Amino acid sequence: MKKRVFSGIRPSGDLHIGNYLGAIKQWVGLQDDHEVVFGIMDLHAITTPHDPEKFRRNTLETAMVYLAAGLDPAKTTLMVQSRVPAHAELAWILGTMTPLGELERMTQFKEKSRELGTKGGIMAGLLNYPILMAADILLYQADAVPVGEDQAQHVELARSLAERFNNRYGKAFTLPQAMLQKDTARIMALDDPPKKMSKSDENARGYILLTDSPDAIREKIKAAVTDSEKKIAFAPEEKPAISNLLVIFSEFSGRPIPELERSYAGKGYAEFKADLAEAVIAGLAPLQERFRELETDTDSVFAVLRGGSERAAAVANKTLA
Ligand code: AQP
């Protein structure tokens, strides 16, 4: 039997190469031999500040990126979280068995509440986010959840809630596991390599958007922070900036990191960065071309989401019942 996979992205901004390498690229590879559901997690996106107009656009554009990246609606269920009310309903039930302390200990909650605390308020929805994420995963009886490292802790909570529920009420849920792609689990910010690349980063130089123009990509990579020692070598602890750039280079060019190290031995950062920029531009070109085509046919994108959400609801409602 095919393994079941669920994952999703919050439409909380324009998607960047971290979302692509850490999540979407893996998803595309899974759709042939797994039963897959991928969501646009809009109920999660409203846990942080957002502009309603931009928010609607982001939901559509996230779907366009999914399709442009190669997710095929014939093989993959693409759904919008708020179109399937079972997510919110199961989240309530799971919330009655989640200790407050477990939520307060979540790294994402701590990081986001530190940021938001200075901007006027942390809402209960942000604290409860991992409960809703557990509902997302458990409703589809997912065996595996492909995510970046930042979300692994939330998948662990989903697993322990499933165990708790099954022990108390009888077996209702499959126990899910995070599926991490080791090398790309954490793409770091270009301007601040100890921090992960993030779409809500206030500094646009920190991320490369999937829709950035070739010139913007060249400029951002040229400005990317480097390490003090000039050598181009992969050593994430000692050389976090250049190691991050090597991972990105390798992913977009298909060339292994040791080969890149050899070919840039003795060469300067300027040459390395110029070639890296061209590799990213070429790697994103097919996705960007399909994205532009979809922009002229948004009705078909909405139709995919409507059909996918209906299929997802049928599975989710069965679990909930
Ligand atoms: N920098 C990253 N490296 C690798 N994977 C990443 N992901 C996010 N950033 C990186 C993975 O992308 C998926 C979708 O993430 P999300 O949008 O649901 O939430 P997020 O992790 O909060 O993403 P961002 O970009 O950091 O958004 P904001 O700034 O809005 O919080 C997940 O699988 C995530 O692991």
Q: Is the pLDDT of residue 261 over 90?
A: yes
The rounded Å distance from CA 151 to ligand 1 centre is 8
Minimal-distance CA residue to ligand 1 atom 10: 18
**Residues noted as catalytic:** 112, 196, 199
- The pLDDT of residue 209: 97
Minimal-distance CA residue to ligand 1 atom 33: 147
What element of type H or E holds 167?
helix 152-169
The residue to mutate among 9, 15, 19, 119, having the most atoms of ligand 1 within 8 angstroms of its beta carbon, is 19
Question: How many percent of the chain have pLDDT more than 90?
Answer: 84
Q: How far is CA 102 from the centre of its chain?
A: 23
Q: Are 273 and 222 in contact (CB under 8 A)?
A: yes
Predicted confidence band of residue 201 (pLDDT cuts 50, 70, 90): confident
- C-alpha Rg value of the chain to the nearest Å: 20
Bridge partners for 77 per DSSP: 37
107: Cβ below 6 Å to ligand 1? no
Minimal-distance CA residue to ligand 1 atom 35: 148
- The pLDDT of residue 227: 86
13: Cβ below 6 Å to ligand 1? yes
Minimal-distance CA residue to ligand 1 atom 26: 198
Q: For residue 207, which atom of ligand 1 is closest to its CA?
A: 1
19: Cβ below 6 Å to ligand 1? yes
Q: What are phi and psi of 254, to 5 degrees?
A: 75, 5
Quick one: average pLDDT of 239-244?
A: 95
9: Cβ below 6 Å to ligand 1? yes
Bridge partners for 5 per DSSP: 36, 144
Measuring CA to CA, which residue among 101, 102, 93, 104 is closest to residue 173? 93
10: Cβ below 6 Å to ligand 1? yes
151: Cβ below 6 Å to ligand 1? yes
Mean model confidence pLDDT for the chain: 94
**pLDDT tens digit sequence for 6-42:** 999 999 989 999 999 989 999 999 999 999 999 999 9
**pLDDT tens digit sequence for 145-199:** 998 888 999 999 999 999 999 999 999 999 999 998 777 778 999 999 989 999 8
> 191: helix, coil or strand?
coil
Q: For residue 149, which atom of ligand 1 is closest to its CA?
A: 35
Neighbours of 105 (CB within 10 A): 12
- The pLDDT of residue 155: 97
The rounded Å distance from CA 202 to ligand 1 centre is 15
